[in-house]
Amino acid sequence: MDWSDTTEEAAFRQRVRDLVADKLPARYRDLAESDHRESNYPWAVDRASGDPERESASRAWLDAVAAERWVAPHWPAEYGGGGLSWMEQFILNAELARANVAPPASNVGLNMLGPTLIVHGTPEQKARFLPPILDGEIVWAQGFSEPGAGSDLASLQTRAVRDGDEYVVNGQKVWTSHAHYADWIMLLSRTDPAAPKHRGITFLLVDLRSPGVTINPLINMAWGHEFNEEFFEDVRVPADQMVGEENRGWYVAMTLLDNERSNITGAMSVQRRIDRLLAYLSSEEGATRSRLARHDALRQQIAQRAVEAAVLFNLSLRIITMQRQGMVPNYEASASKIVAYEAEQGLNIAATKAFGLYSNLWDPGEPVATMEAGFTHGYVERAASIGGGTLEIQRNVIATRGLGLPRG
């Protein structure tokens, strides 16, 4: 099969590469050349830093991408998006991921809430919330999971009670990525406890500065702060911030999760890390520090990860092909997530084994840390297998929706 670009696709790919080469600020370029965790979400960090230089860099990159109308390439042009074809979106995402460049604005807003509002939002909601996402003025968080509702999300207990033109919200959310940088949160709440659990849920947009909202950090075992828990105590939310219909929020959320699971940058991320690893292993320092010369099995493991990266790339193209034909990738996207996680984690395991005792070094700034300790951090941080649905849930989706097997 020929995956070569057409003449038009090749020209578009070069435009993206030129943008990265000419406009990416030095701060982001330094992050992009490493495996530092901050490279994945610099916009929200820089925006909240209080450092004028960092804020200026993030704004410059956003403005450069916005000038091409590529901040939200998948949004229709009428809402400020790029109106790009599916293949152009694929090329843009692929090239940014290959360069290790994060989205120029809030990822949750751009890729989850924005497309959901375009489908389910009122004209007033679209006019109010879509432009600030594009301009980078509002950073969004996703308030779905609760202590007793993770994989079984429909068991959520956060309550929203209608009181005139408002809802009064009480409850708790947990494992919320980057809520400490966010301005607003998408909240699933139960409005009819007597209804079947999927039918009594309402989708609300909540200002995190509202009275009664408390955000607490959740520090992980690697001393990283990415997740948070939020408490809502008599938080009043205007009823015009409900998306879709009351008690029909589950179906709104499914639109959002379909957008989340259709992310196709994982293949490029794995391939980029493999390329960096191979280049380092081929250097004098890498050859000295690694154990590959003495362990055939390690070489085979790294080769297997390269094969998985190629499979993941082809899965991504299959998803794009389906979307171009108006189909919604569901179990295909689940398969893509499984392969992406297993390839990424398999690479972390193989690389840490290859570098032996050097992999015990944790500080990326340590002079003898191998490749900024990126593979060691990746080996310890396993949350990628949970976010957006555990691997077990993804396999259930493949079994029931893909293979037609009965539910157990």
The alpha carbons of the chain give a radius of gyration, in whole angstroms, of 22
pLDDT of residue 39: 47
- Establish whether 260 is a catalytic residue: yes
Read off the pLDDT band of 264 (50, 70, 90): low
Cα separation, 215 vs 232, whole angstroms: 9
Read off the pLDDT band of 232 (50, 70, 90): very high
pLDDT of residue 383: 67
Cα separation, 322 vs 197, whole angstroms: 31
Tell me the domains of the chain and their CATH numbers: 7-106 (1.10.540), 140-246 (2.40.110.10), 261-403 (1.20.140.10)
Is-contact 160 237, C-beta < 8 A? yes
Q: What is the DSSP letter of 146?
A: B
38 versus 241: the higher-pLDDT residue is 241
**Mean pLDDT throughout 235-249?**
98
pLDDT of residue 233: 99
| Mean pLDDT, the chain, integer | 87
pLDDT of residue 384: 65
Task: For the beta carbon of residue 235, count every other beta carbon within 10 angstroms.
Answer: 25
Q: What does the pLDDT look like over 60-86, one tens digit per residue?
A: 889 999 999 999 998 999 999 998 988
279 CB-side CA count, 13 A? 8
**Percent above pLDDT 70 for the chain:** 91
Q: Which of 12-26, 27-41, 284-298, 317-331 tops mean pLDDT?
A: 12-26
Read off the pLDDT band of 155 (50, 70, 90): very high
How many residues appear in the chain?
408
Q: What does the pLDDT look like over 350-407, one tens digit per residue?
A: 999 998 888 887 777 777 777 777 888 888 877 666 766 788 888 988 898 888 898 8
Amino acid at 103: P
**Mean pLDDT throughout 201-219?**
97
Is-contact 243 121, C-beta < 8 A? yes
pLDDT of residue 270: 85
Is-contact 104 62, C-beta < 8 A? yes
Amino acid at 341: Y
Q: What does the pLDDT look like over 93-148, one tens digit per residue?
A: 888 888 888 777 888 898 889 999 999 999 999 999 999 999 988 999 999 999 99
Cα separation, 106 vs 47, whole angstroms: 10
Is-contact 73 89, C-beta < 8 A? yes
Cα separation, 216 vs 228, whole angstroms: 6
Q: What does the pLDDT look like over 270-310, one tens digit per residue?
A: 888 899 899 988 999 888 888 888 888 989 999 999 999 88
Q: Which residue bears the tokens 């594009």?
A: 134
Cα separation, 255 vs 120, whole angstroms: 9
Q: Which of 260, 332, 344, 372 is catalytic?
A: 260
Evaluate if residue 258 carries a pLDDT over 70: no
Q: Which positions ≥6 away from 81 have C-beta within 8 Å?
A: 69, 71, 72, 73, 74, 75, 134
Q: Which positions ≥6 away from 268 have C-beta within 8 Å?
A: 93, 94, 97, 98, 313
Evaluate if residue 2 carries a pLDDT over 50: yes
Q: What is the DSSP letter of 386?
A: T
Evaluate if residue 14 carries a pLDDT over 80: yes
68 versus 322: the higher-pLDDT residue is 68
316 versus 258: the higher-pLDDT residue is 316
Task: For the beta carbon of residue 122, count every other beta carbon within 10 angstroms.
Answer: 13
